[in-house]
Structure 1
């Protein structure tokens, strides 16, 4: 089949993003090219791993990868072009940063905007199926977590050190109480009609 042909014949890069569903901060994306024979029994979707394991695997990925890159698109650009397009842009930027041009790209999810003339395949839940996507998932997640921990020092009221910008009840309540920070995505809905909120 064509998919297998591309994997066998071309240098393959896996791509994934982190932070798409957040209320604040940038979306991050990573692109990773691993050796063809790379395996690791713990490497899987970053969301299935504890924080300690993610950071340990990041060291292994960065040491073993043939090439990797991490890129971001900030909250202002997300508001301007929408989060889906911002996710594609972040992945394109990460691919641009690779010092080796891939001949084939594996994307986590079901949609992607074509990168130059490079063929690609979208794989639903691909971060649990392909090592290169799982590796990209871990890099995107850990680099974004590091970024949000730095922002949390400036704005401890939003609990970003714990929630990393995701819409927890505590985060939503903090926005209702303190208003938006300079890093919030203004086009995202803070209040959820399905969720009963109580101010702390």
Structure 2
């Protein structure tokens, strides 16, 4: 059942953005997914991650499964949607989905196994955390994890596939919430604003305050070595 408050927010938002939609419009992202489903009884999961590039925090992945009849207008690559709109779509997506799963790999694991392997690990965990077993899995990117399923990698999948785009929104919102919570412990790094990404300000704050237990040391290795060299001059 759709929560009334989230549905009302979504309906208001959709009406405000109706110029981007049309009753007769066939969503190309949804059509992309349906082209993979030859048997209507099959379940398809879209999988994506958020947080490959930041200096701090985890990488978070999401997997999401919908009924084949479900389409949610304006679902798109999370990077193309502003934060407040992602929150509205997030609520709609989780309410309309059959199931969604989250996978989180922290900064220590990222340092140990590298960001690519950490991203694939998070995606695999997200699929395992689904309450249903998908028959087909669409993964954003060109790398895949090993699983006894029909798996397809889709380069720029978050702008091509409805399910991957929905997963990208879930992953992004979940990770942003984690970083906002971490910012309560370390307010000086302004993670509620930069979400741990390598902004000029974030580098300056690392230079000023040092690194935290949530920073990715491998991502800061070059920066820290340059800082040491500068201190010796």
Q: From 74, 84, 89, give the equivalent of 2:106.
A: 74
Aligned position for 1:183: 214
SS at match of 2:153: strand
Aligned position for 2:22: none
Query: 1:32 aligned to 2:64?
Result: yes
Distance 1:66 1:36 in 2: 10
1:66-105 alignment, distance < 5 Å: 66-105=98-137
Aligned position for 2:194: 163
Deviations 1:148-200 (A, max 9, x none): 000011111111011100000000111111111110011113639xxxxxxxx
Which structure 1 residue ranges, 4+ long, deviate > 2 Å from structure 2? 3-10, 189-192
How many residues get paired?
189
Aligned position for 1:48: 80
Aligned position for 2:37: 7
Deviations 1:7-55 (A, max 9, x none): 2233110000000101000000000001112222210000000111100
Query: 1:144 aligned to 2:175?
Result: yes
Q: From 159, 174, 189, give the equivalent of 2:205.
A: 174
TM-superposed CA distance for 1:4, in Å, is 7.1
1:118–1:17 distance in 2 versus 1, CA, 3 Å: same
Which 5+ residue runs of structure 1 have no aligned equivalent? 193-200
Query: Highest relative contact order (Cα 8 Å, sep 6+), 1 or 2?
Result: 1
Say which structure is richer in helix. 2
Contact 2:138–2:152 under 8 Å retained in 1: yes
Deviations 1:75-112 (A, max 9, x none): 11111110000000001101111111111100111111
Distance 2:36 2:158 in 1: 19
TM-score, normalised via structure 1 length: 0.90
Distance 1:18 1:166 in 2: 11
Contact 2:34–2:68 under 8 Å retained in 1: no
Contact 1:159–1:170 under 8 Å retained in 2: no
TM-superposed CA distance for 1:63, in Å, is 0.6
Contact 2:141–2:153 under 8 Å retained in 1: yes
Contact 2:49–2:119 under 8 Å retained in 1: yes
The CA RMSD measured in Å over matched residues stands at: 1.6
Structure of higher CA gyration radius: 2
